[in-house]
Structure 1
């Protein structure tokens, strides 16, 4: 059975928005009369997420030229991760990076990613803890 693009998009959206397992999503779709294996759902997610990310970045509104960068330690799906985040003066999130390690390489990777997607800012204010790298 071939699924419509609407069904595929809905599955990927639910998976990303609600942090459900692929097996739970498989069951949800079966309850709606759509039989799709969890491995197929995984292939859809792997294939579509980079495309969605690229499309959303193209339509994202411009960000301010003054950035504030910060990092914090958060729990994601039961595991502790470091969240690096940059916001502009309006409070709009410019970019973020979730990583297992807190080191200079991760901080630099995050900063380069933000610049690559949004251009070089005029001013960057960095939280003191980031300077400990």
Structure 2
């Protein structure tokens, strides 16, 4: 069964919508700047239309970009994952957020559980590998749950432990388009990206 076309009720073509959204998220432009640039190219749209397209189709374009990037990265032999976990409080209860970042600093996924044991680590790793495949190396901290989970999967030889914990999430060097695409719409890529609360710039 084919998926319904998300652009079927829009008079504007998909190419123009994608151009407007990617201009807004890829470059440091405001919504009115995008409106002016499109007007110079003979495309008459309102900045409110650009905002609506960003909210509606931003997660769709972000998903396409992530899938294409994952396919490219599988071809490289130096693709590494860095895994760690942090404590978070949800409704006053302590939970654990498992995080995965590749060697370029791009966030792959985040997963929240109540326990930090082998079962939770195994579920997180299987979820990652089902989506992205097998990496060349997995760098973890000294948590023993990773080693037990990787022995069960059968890739314990790819595990490498780091002696010093370093932050895995980019802050200053993270591009603006990644924040805008990750924070728009209801489909948030990760809890951390959702907490960025990036607002549209008029």
Question: Normalising by structure 1, what TM-score?
Answer: 0.54
The match for 1:112 is 111
Pairing 1:3-14 to 2, within 5 Å after superposition: 3-14=12-23
Change (3 A) 1:41 1:68: same
How far does residue 44 in structure 1 lie from its aligned partner after superposition? Answer: 0.6
What RMSD over aligned residues (CA atoms) do the two structures have, in Å?
3.8
How far does residue 35 in structure 1 lie from its aligned partner after superposition? Answer: 1.5
Change (3 A) 1:112 1:128: same
Q: Which has the higher strand share?
A: 1
Change (3 A) 1:11 1:124: same
Q: Which has the higher helix share?
A: 1
Counterpart contact for 2:81–2:139, Cα < 8 Å = yes
How far does residue 85 in structure 1 lie from its aligned partner after superposition? Answer: 7.2
Equivalent residue pairs, number: 101
Change (3 A) 1:129 1:18: same
The match for 2:47 is 38
Change (3 A) 1:54 1:116: farther
The match for 1:128 is 165
Residue 69 of structure 2 corresponds to residue 54 of structure 1: no
Spell out, residue by residue over 1:1-37, the C-alpha distance to the aligned partner (whole angstroms, 9 max, x if none).
x422221111112112112111110111112222111
Cα distance in 2 for partners of 1:38, 1:117 equals: 39
Q: Which structure is larger by alpha-carbon Rg, 1 or 2?
A: 2
| Higher relative contact order (CA closer than 8 Å, sequence separation 6+) | 2
Cα distance in 1 for partners of 2:65, 2:127 equals: 12
How far does residue 58 in structure 1 lie from its aligned partner after superposition? Answer: 3.3
Residue 78 of structure 2 corresponds to residue 67 of structure 1: no
